[in-house]
């Protein structure tokens, strides 16, 4: 995906989440942030999604992967 398209998609998701926060939208936006190497925002969205469902497998996997990537990025 190109960066311009990802940015536009994130903006649309942000509007939808502001209207009604849902786990799937938070997870999707976190995945976009992760692919854009914006680890802090990805982790924030994962944490928000996990508040809605602490056992959501895909979000837990994304959260753990993003934690690992951010640790590698910042060291």
Q: Dump the DSSP string for 9-24.
A: HHHHHHHHHHHS--HH
pLDDT of residue 37: 94
pLDDT of residue 40: 97
> Could you give the 3-state DSSP secondary structure of residue 59?
helix
pLDDT of residue 22: 96
Q: Tens digit of pLDDT per residue, the chain (75 long)?
A: 578 898 999 999 999 999 999 999 999 999 999 999 999 999 999 999 999 999 999 999 999 999 999 998 877
The CATH number assigned to the domain holding 48 equals: 1.25.40.10
pLDDT of residue 1: 55
Q: What is the pTM of this model?
A: 0.89
Residues 34, 66: contact at Cβ < 8 Å?
A: yes
Compute how many other C-beta atoms are within 10 angstroms of the C-beta atom of residue 9.
14
Q: Which domain holds residue 10?
A: 3-74
Provide the domain count of the chain. Answer: 1
């Amino acid at each position: 995906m190109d960066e311009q398209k990802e940015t536009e998609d994130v903006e649309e998701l942000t509007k939808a989440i502001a209207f009604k926060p849902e786990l799937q939208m938070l997870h999707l936006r976190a995945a976009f942030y992760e692919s854009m190497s914006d680890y802090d925002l990805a982790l924030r969205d994962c944490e928000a999604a996990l508040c809605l469902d602490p056992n959501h497998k895909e979000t837990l996997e994304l959260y753990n992967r993003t934690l690992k990537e951010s640790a590698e990025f910042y060291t």
